[in-house]
Chains A and B, each alone.
Chain A
Amino acid sequence: EDQVTQSPEALRLQEGESSSLNCSYTVSGLRGLFWYRQDPGKGPEFLFTLYSAGEEKEKERLKATLTKKESFLHITAPKPEDSATYLCAVHWDTGRRALTFGSGTRLQVQP
């Protein structure tokens, strides 16, 4: 069963059109939920780690929020340079140190 699910798979926005990406998870004992940005042909770029429900973090036009079952990445007034794939991943309390990744949301922002 999928433990980390991202939606939508792809999203096309007009410049300035705000929206949200979703990451839902089914694991228990969450130790951290991670958001990344990935440009084609490059390694993922770390954005945020969220640790507990109610937590929020911001970076430029991006704001990440966390509830007990999901996280949202809000993009406010996006620009074309925000076009990328956004990945989320979870680290939970199994003793395993590795993260489990979602399949990503491909975001395209058109001028």
Chain B
Amino acid sequence: DVKVTQSSRYLVKRTGEKVFLECVQDMDHENMFWYRQDPGLGLRLIYFSYDVKMKEKGDIPEGYSVSREKKERFSLILESASTNQTSMYLCAILSSGSYYEQYFGPGTRLTVT
């Protein structure tokens, strides 16, 4: 079974802090994603990465950056946290080739006060 882990289940940060969310996968997949999920807005793509050091902006990249120095690890960085970044953050991987399957991590519930 594919395993996607996230560094924290719950996180509380203050406005203006720099926040790091980390995602680790155990299956050597190239494609990794960061989404946020908010009531009424569904899942929205922040950034994705298709290889080490490669990244592309998703639909809502403002206020976020990412880092992928190793294939198994994809980090989401909130440069200066704001209250409107309070959300559930979900990391995912997409297996590709003949079959597509996307697996999510357990999520990080971030509260910015």
Contact = CB atoms under 8 A, between A and B. Distances in A.
Do A and B truly interact?
yes
A101 B42 contact: yes
Given A91-B94, A103-B40, 12 more contacts: A32-B100, A34-B100, A34-B102, A42-B107, A43-B90, A43-B107, A44-B43, A44-B104, A45-B104, A51-B100, A97-B48, A97-B94
B101 A46 contact: yes
Interface residues of A, number: 23
Q: Chain B: interface secondary structure?
A: strand
B94 A102 contact: no
Contacts of B43: 44, 87, 89, 101
Interface of A: 31-32, 34, 36, 41-46, 49, 51, 87, 89, 91, 96-99, 101-104
Given A41-B107, A43-B90, A44-B90, A102 B102 contact: no
A96 B57 CA distance: 11
Contacts of A87: 43
B5 to A, nearest CB: 11
A16 to B, nearest CB: 30
Interface of B: 4, 31, 33, 40, 42-43, 45, 48, 50, 56, 58, 88, 90, 92, 94, 96, 99-107, 109
